[in-house]
Amino acid sequence: MPEWEPVIGLEIHVQLKTHTKMFCGCEAGFGGEPNTRTCPVCLAFPGALPVPNETAVEWTIKLGHALNCRIAERAVFHRKNYFYPDNPKGYQISQYDEPLCIAGSFVVPGPEGDTKVGIVRAHLEEDAAKTIHVGGETGRIVGSAHSNVDFNRGGTPLVEIVTQPDLRSADDAKRFLQLLRQTIVELGISDAEMEKGTLRADANVSVREVGETGYRTRTELKNMNSFNHIARGIEAELRRQIETWESGGEVVQETLDYEVKSDTVTPRRRKEEADDYRYFPEPDLVPIEPEADVVDRLRAEVPELPGVRIRRFEEQYELSYYDAEVLNGSAALAALYEQVALDGIDAKAASNVLMNDFVATGVDPAAVNGAELAKLIEARATIPRETFTRALTESADPEFRAETYLGDTLIADTAELEPLVERILASNPGQVAAYKGGKEGLLGFFVGQVMKETQGKADPKVVNDLLRQKLA
Ligand SMILES: [Zn+2]
């Protein structure tokens, strides 16, 4: 049997969180009473004229910089013609052969080196309205009783990002999307939430034999609404294509839906070719010609991006890739880590506390005073575990001061602990005999008893030493 290599490219749609829509002054945003955020432009009344949203153009350029794209000196809006009830103009204003951002790349750091993914283009367009199929089990048109259209979403600015087919596994595709999402969120241009549909991704999937240089026929996978579903959908489609080729069949170009329940893909429709859309330049809009100083200003506004920050954390704080990745799960957590680490705390200890104990509390890292947290972490060996956890839980309080908790010190005085240790050993003769007979794991049992009696306030190191001494 030949060895197969997956070839995966992604098409990502990102809804920008501008206040208003792409070509009119209607409020943009998720939800709302259906059909309340509309006007003659986004409802396509005859004679209504589009006016481009400047913020949306600037944010797309900013994203282009983050994706290492070349920003076009001249970009053109085109009409993409097709009929659908959620598209009242009969065309979507999009970009075709002169998009705003071209030929970039996006680097995904990993434990075994970087994955560099080519970016073909990132262009600006308007979103369609939302069709809601009523009745039926799946929420799809098949089996539904009727359909409603909500035009609130119609005309919302949308950026489409198209990658090269550079991804070689479903996991790589998922990791790419997660890092891209975080990058977009940190740029402040979109909430990029898959469950709300403000981030949507389709995958172009094909396989080829290892060593083959050309590409075989690809299919397009749609309708996947979480990172896990995307990875599983790609896996299912890879399996199907490999089986098809190995049984002497031929993969045909088509669009597929991933069905989560059955973990299989089902055909949706034959893929349209670009010719079918009869693209032509939008006569109501002039080309976008961004001025050089605006492009430069937007480049300067791009913050340090999460992919870059992960590598810097590994180097600067000598952390493992895994630690650096977890700490960069959000910009706020990364910033808090840096405040704590720069305060002179051991970088690895600070990383362990933040990644495990702190994250487990669910406290918002942006609300925490890093200097006070650093004091707390530094003193963690001298205060009871319970107190430490409570302090972390309360660390977002503006009044939070580490010293409030530091008075609650551990009992480390041997004279105080010794009688207690002796009493516990005397009242558990069976366990003592078993320990002396070789069941050394019972030490933990004795430590636990001491902790229980002292409400967790005994210094575990002193207790361990005392117990070993007495049991010797
Ligand atoms: Zn409108």
Q: What is the pLDDT of residues 94-117, one digit of tens each?
A: 999 999 999 999 999 999 899 999
- Ligand 1 centre to CA of 21 (Å) is 7
Taking residues 216-230, what's their average pLDDT?
89
- Given a contact cutoff of 8 angstroms between Cβ atoms, the answer to whether 10 and 176 are in contact is yes
Nearest in space to 366 (alpha carbons), one of 390, 345, 392, 335: 335
CA distance 302 to 375: 33
Interior angle at CA 427, CA 426 and CA 428, nearest 5: 95
- Ligand 1 centre to CA of 22 (Å) is 9
Of 92-96, 222-226, 255-259, 378-382, the poorest mean pLDDT is in 378-382
Structure-token match 């669910």, residue found: 362
- Ligand 1 centre to CA of 283 (Å) is 19
- Ligand 1 centre to CA of 30 (Å) is 15
pLDDT digits (tens, 9 = 90+) for 356-413: 888 888 888 888 888 888 888 887 777 878 788 887 878 777 888 877 777 666 677 7
Nearest in space to 149 (alpha carbons), one of 43, 66, 298, 23: 43
CA distance 349 to 341: 9
pLDDT band at residue 271 under the 50/70/90 scheme: low
Q: Indicate if the pLDDT at residue 17 is higher than 70.
A: yes
More confident residue, 348 or 182: 182
Taking residues 241-245, what's their average pLDDT?
93
Q: How far apart are the first and last CA of the chain?
A: 63
Tell me what the pLDDT averaged over the chain comes to.
88
Which two tokens mark 26?
A: 């209607």
- Ligand 1 centre to CA of 52 (Å) is 12
Q: State residue 447 phi and psi, 5-degree precision.
A: -60, -45
Contacting residues for 148 by C-beta, under 8 A, at least 6 apart? 34, 131, 132, 134
Q: Indicate if the pLDDT at residue 299 is higher than 90.
A: yes
- Ligand 1 centre to CA of 20 (Å) is 8
Q: State residue 268 phi and psi, 5-degree precision.
A: -105, -60
Please report the pLDDT score of residue 192 as a whole number: 93
Contacting residues for 24 by C-beta, under 8 A, at least 6 apart? 39, 41, 42, 50, 51, 155
Taking residues 421-432, what's their average pLDDT?
84
- Ligand 1 centre to CA of 64 (Å) is 26
Please report the pLDDT score of residue 275 as a whole number: 66
The amino acid at residue 46 is P
Burial level of 203, CB count in 10 A (0-12/13-18/19+)? buried
Ligand 1 ion: Cβ-proximal residues, 5 Å cutoff: 24, 26, 39, 41-42
Q: Indicate if the pLDDT at residue 273 is higher than 80.
A: no
- Ranked by mean pLDDT, the top range of 115-124, 311-320, 340-349, 452-461 is 115-124
- Ligand 1 centre to CA of 65 (Å) is 29
CA distance 130 to 149: 6
- Ligand 1 centre to CA of 87 (Å) is 13
This prediction has a pTM of 0.82
Around Cβ 111, how many Cβ atoms within 10 Å?
Answer: 9
- Ligand 1 centre to CA of 156 (Å) is 9
Q: Indicate if the pLDDT at residue 272 is higher than 60.
A: no
- Ligand 1 centre to CA of 371 (Å) is 48
- Given a contact cutoff of 8 angstroms between Cβ atoms, the answer to whether 161 and 179 are in contact is no
Of 82-91, 214-223, 295-304, 366-375, the poorest mean pLDDT is in 366-375
- Ligand 1 centre to CA of 99 (Å) is 24
- Ligand 1 centre to CA of 40 (Å) is 6
- Ligand 1 centre to CA of 147 (Å) is 22
Strand 255-259 relative to strand 219-222, pairing = parallel
Taking residues 453-469, what's their average pLDDT?
78
CA distance 59 to 394: 37
Contacting residues for 212 by C-beta, under 8 A, at least 6 apart? 5
Helices (H), ranges, 69-196: 170-187
- Ligand 1 centre to CA of 395 (Å) is 45
Helices (H), ranges, 42-159: 54-66
- Given a contact cutoff of 8 angstroms between Cβ atoms, the answer to whether 395 and 372 are in contact is yes
- Given a contact cutoff of 8 angstroms between Cβ atoms, the answer to whether 312 and 325 are in contact is no
More confident residue, 245 or 224: 245
